[in-house]
Amino acid sequence: MSAILPIAAAILNYKHLNKVQKIAAVFFIISGLFDLGLLLVRHLNITLITSGGRANNAPLIHLFLLVSILFYALMYFQAFNKLALKRVSIAVSVITGVLIFVNAFFIEGLLKFPSIGNTILSVTLILLSLLYFWQLLDQAEIVRLEKQPMFWISAGVLSYCSINIFLFMLMRSLGSLSSNFWTIHSIINIIANLLFAIALFCKPQKTI
């Protein structure tokens, strides 16, 4: 349900969204639709693909990983102000997309939760968010961080990925996680969505 927060923020502040925020807004709307689709498949037993006679929503998660890297690549490409960083964002995003695709069809398969795919995506997003923070520290201009949408988006990305990456890796080795682990995931997800909502409420400050 916390996915509603950034969507609501985008709607309420749509007149003031810059280019990065508009890309983020579209992504969070799509993300919310994926969340809804996952719930419908799981709780209403809608047959997308059956596995052992049960509905399986894993293919949707594989697809969402590809959508995620596409939109984050666009966001960071727009946010980076150095050509080298823009090129890095494109390169690592393409490599990540290829690895996620290969994992979906040739390693874990479409019918299994993509723990490897999630881990790969998390590593890439952690890298991109750290590069963005480095850019903020390195640039000569003075900015108010709380007015920068990508600061909040990167904070949400870093908090979500840096903690949940361990859950994704554990799932790969254990096969499944207890409800306590998924509770941690849900709490971090709520925090990330709060940060994303703040990002879409920001009215970006011009550099000085």
Confidence at residue 152, expressed as pLDDT on a 0 to 100 scale: 96
Asked if the structure places residue 207 within a domain, the reply is: no
Highest-confidence segment of 1-5, 66-70, 173-177: 66-70
- Residue 107 contacts by C-beta under 8 Å, 6 or more apart in sequence? 116
C-alpha–C-alpha distance, residues 208 and 189, integer Å: 34
Domain that holds residue 49: 4-201
Alpha carbons 141 and 182: distance in angstroms, whole number: 41
CB-based contact 66:101 (threshold 8 Å): yes
Say how many domains are in the chain: 1
What's the confidence (pLDDT) of residue 102?
Answer: 98
Per-residue confidence (pLDDT) for residue 89, from 0 to 100 = 97
Is the pLDDT score of 24 beyond 70? Answer: yes
- Whether residue 206 is contained in a domain is answered as no
Which tens digits make up the pLDDT trace of 89-113?
Answer: 999 999 999 999 999 999 999 988 8
Look at residue 106 and tell me if it is in a domain. yes
101-154: per-residue pLDDT in tens? 999 999 999 988 899 999 999 999 999 999 999 999 887 676 788 889 999 999
From 52-61, 84-93, 135-144, the region with the lowest mean pLDDT: 52-61
- 118: in domain: yes
Q: Give domain status of residue 21, yes or no.
A: yes
Residue 30 lies in a domain: yes
What is the rounded average pLDDT for all residues in the chain?
Answer: 89
